[in-house]
Structure 1
Amino acid sequence: MDPRSSTGQPVNRRTTRMATADEQLRLMTRVARLYHEQGMRQAQIVEELHISQARVSRLLAQAAKVGIVRTIVVPPEGVFADLEETIASRYRLRDVVVVDVEGEGDEVIPALGAATAVYLETTLLEGDRLGISSWSATLLAAVEAMRSRPGKRSLEEVVQLMGGVGDPQVQIQATRLMGRLAETTGAEPVFMSAPGVVASPAVRDAILADPKVSSVADAWKHLTIAVVGIGSLEPSPLLRRSGNIFSLEDQERLRDLGAVGDICLHFFDENGTLLDTELNDRVIGIDPDAYRAVPRRIAVAGGDRKYAAINAAVSGGWVDVLITDLGIARRLAG
């Protein structure tokens, strides 16, 4: 027997289901408009429509699910979210920060430094052990821009990743970088009291045997974050003045092998493949395997002349967070 309405007429179940669905969509749209367009709180919608709080929440969730409400994020000027996501996906990076500046060398350093300072202030956690390369003008600018934050959870240690002894006038800057970062984060500074490059592997081994130096090398094994610059084959002015560089003959040999850049004076080719030379055994600094074992590796680099080095570093998996300028980012994104 067909079900009948209160008037005795047969009930069309299909018509009833359609009417119910239409009413659900109508109510869903009404709730969504009140909430998103008129700015009413859920409690006010409960009062307005005489429905339960749970139903209001459910209708808002359903409105988003079926496409009645569509959320669109519009990045403000100077924020390059699409570009950052494209680069992160292409090179399998954890994060990318694109800074709204273009140019060469000194033109991009202040902006990159400021962006790095903000990134570190936002992402550093209590108990982190941070290693930092000391011969980078960009990292020096970043540390100078960081703000002391009383009461903020502090790092455990700040560890120098490369030998720091060099020209006394330039050494002051490296020491200031370490000291300032330790002061800002409340961390214990761990200095590397040795030159960055020595004459032979035998000299390097002798220096690393010293307990004060070996204790720093042991600290590298426990880092949770590394913050580094990316060098090109041509040394930066700061690194050149420091005296912690390979000779012109060594640099020419690296060029012949296809070197395009370095991290902590470990050079790689255009694909990011480490060049296996005896020069690696003359560097007093974190070795490539220990560096790659650091869970989060942040590189800060920009300027047109560094494109090949930056591209190689991200292609070869040397970093998982990149902070760079807009010009480099556009080239990386292709």
Structure 2
Amino acid sequence: MRTEERLQLLAEIADQYYEQGLTQNQIARTHGYSRSAISRMLNEARDKHIVQIQINYPLQRDRTLERTLERQYDLQSAFVVKRGGLPYRHILRRLGRLGANYVIDNLPDESILGISWGTTIFEVSNALTTARRNFDVEVIHMMGTIGKGDPFIEGHELVRSIANSLGGKYHELHSPLIVENKATQKALLNEPNIRETLDMALDADLAIVGVGSTDTSISTLMTGGNISKEEMQNIQEQGAVGDICLNHYDQDGKVLDIDINQRVIGIDIKKLAKSSCRVVGVAGDERKASAILGALRGGFLDVLITDTHAARSIIDSNGGTEK
């Protein structure tokens, strides 16, 4: 049997078992196989990612930490997922589910949704695929595209997937994310198509963004091979603790006048913060606490979705007394 025929058979058997609710014995009689052969095929379908099983654990939240964050940083809302002993990759999925729920519950019809990039926004996108809704929405990718990384995390597939899940249209920023110098940045930002897309992003009703860290163990920009460890360390040495849409800022939330910021094609987060757009930050883990704290101090976020590890680090950063 040819490979494509085998995959089609596995998909049919998986559909009969998982979607139609047939027993393995019923499927075996339909296809002329033994029940044990059907069992092996179902396992093969999972191994070849024809079937993907997602377990939606209850999202337990810490209301006390949520209220504290809202009060200390004048947030419209905070959502804090209880972390326990979960590894980072598992908590990312839960943050993604909360982010997707927030979008579905708060996105108005006939609206504009801005998105950034990264592993957390990828998990938001994944969660949206299981809760398809039809909105009259235009989804804007607020950054250029690196082009050499994972397109589902860094590029056009991310904005396309979210738009498809929401039943809307999407707009890409047809530009590289990082250019050679400030002169090239200025020229591209003045290009009519790029300027029009970024102006549309500033008119967004809602923007959902990841919060990047300069911690080399967790930075998507570095771990994706987009910049070297030495370059990231140089960015750290210039005072950067985090970024939103690659606008790097310091621990006080001041956007820095450094080389990387002068070469990025994307939304200006200071302008976004001054707009009427509600900006939702989705990020967790204590390694991102400094980056999240800087974003809060800079006033870049209206809503924060995070986990207990990051929330406690943020609140404790100034003795839990910061307003």
Choose which of 127, 141, 145 in structure 1 pairs with 2:123.
141
Write the distance in 1 (CA, Å) between the matches of 2:243 and 2:136: 27
Hey, what's the Cα distance between the residues in 1 that align with 2:251 and 2:261?
Answer: 18
Q: Does 1:158 align with 2:135?
A: no
Equivalent residue for 1:276, pick from 257, 268, 273: 257
Q: For 2:157, which of 176, 182, 194 is the aligned residue?
A: 176
Aligned to 2:299: 317
- Measured after TM superposition, the shift of residue 110 of structure 1 is 1.2
CA offsets, 1:30-63, max 9 Å, x none?
Answer: xxxxxxxxxxxxxxxxxxxxxxxxxxxxxxxxxx
Asked if the contact 1:273/1:316 (under 8 Å) is kept, the reply is yes
**Of 99-108 and 213-222, the range deviating more from structure 2:** 99-108
**Superposition pairs of residues 38-49 of structure 1, within 5 angstroms:** none
Structure exhibiting the larger radius of gyration computed from Cα positions: 1
**Cα distance, 1:172 vs. partner?**
4.7
- Alignment pair present for 1:189 and 2:170: yes
Contact 1:197 1:244 (C-alpha < 8 Å) held by counterparts: no
* In structure 2, C-alpha distance between the alignment counterparts of 1:241 and 1:233, rounded to whole Å: 11
What's the counterpart of residue 83 of structure 1?
Answer: 65
- 1:158 and 1:188 in contact (8 A); partners too: yes
1:256–1:79 CA distance, 2 compared to 1 (3 A): closer
Alpha-carbon offset, residue 224 of structure 1 = 1.8
Instruction: Tell me which residue corresponds to 2:36.
Output: none
Q: What SS does structure 2 have at the residue aligned with 1:108?
A: helix
1:258 to partner: Cα distance: 2.0
Distance in 1, matches of 2:211 and 2:59, equals 28
State the Cα distance separating 1:187 from its structure 2 match: 2.1
Residue of structure 1 in register with 2:24 after alignment: none
Separation (CA, whole Å) in 2 of partners of 1:118 and 1:77: 11
Which residue in the other structure is 1:109 paired with?
92
The answer for unaligned runs of 5 or more in structure 1 is 1-75
Please list the CA deviations of residues 174-211 of structure 1 after superposition, one character each: whole Å capped at 9, or x if unmatched.
32221111112222200012111111011122323433
Question: Match of 1:280, as an amino acid?
Answer: N
Give 1:243 deviation, angstroms.
Answer: 5.5
Question: Structure 1 208/332 Cα, relative in aligned 2: closer, same or farther at 3 Å?
Answer: closer
Amino acid at match of 1:120: V
Where 1:125 maps in the other structure, the secondary structure is coil
CA contact (8 A) 2:65 2:308 kept: no
Aligned to 1:27: none
| TM-score (norm: length of structure 2) | 0.71
Which deviations, in whole Å up to 9, do the C-alpha atoms of 1:196-246 show, x marking residues without a partner?
11110111223234333232122123112111111111365643365654x
Residue 290 of structure 1, aligned match among 241, 264, 271: 271
Candidates 238, 243, 247, aligned match of 1:257: 238
1:333 maps to what in 2? 315
**By how many angstroms is 1:105 displaced?**
3.5
- Per-residue deviation at 1:322? 0.3
Query: Which of the residues 203, 214, 239 maps onto 1:233?
Result: 214
Which of 106, 112, 119 is 2:102 aligned to?
119
SS at match of 1:322: strand
* CA–CA separation in structure 2 for the residues paired with 1:227 and 1:290: 15
More displaced 10-residue stretch of structure 1: 296-305 or 205-214:
205-214
Are the structure 2 counterparts of residues 314 and 209 from structure 1 closer, same or farther at C-alpha, using a change threshold of 3 Å? closer
- 2:91 and 2:59 map into 1 onto residues whose CA distance is 18
| Residue aligned with 1:158, SS | strand
CA distance in 1, matches of 2:283, 2:136: 24
User: Are 1:220 and 2:201 matched, yes or no?
Assistant: yes
Gaps of at least 5 residues in structure 2 are: 1-57, 317-323
TM-score by length of 1: 0.69
Q: Which amino acid aligns with 1:331?
A: S
Encode CA deviations 1:96-134: one digit per residue, 9 max, x unaligned. 011122555324211111121112111111122111002
Residue 208 of structure 1 contacts residue 214 of structure 1 at CA under 8 Å; is this kept in 2? Answer: yes
Distance in 2 between the 1:286 and 1:223 partners?
Answer: 12
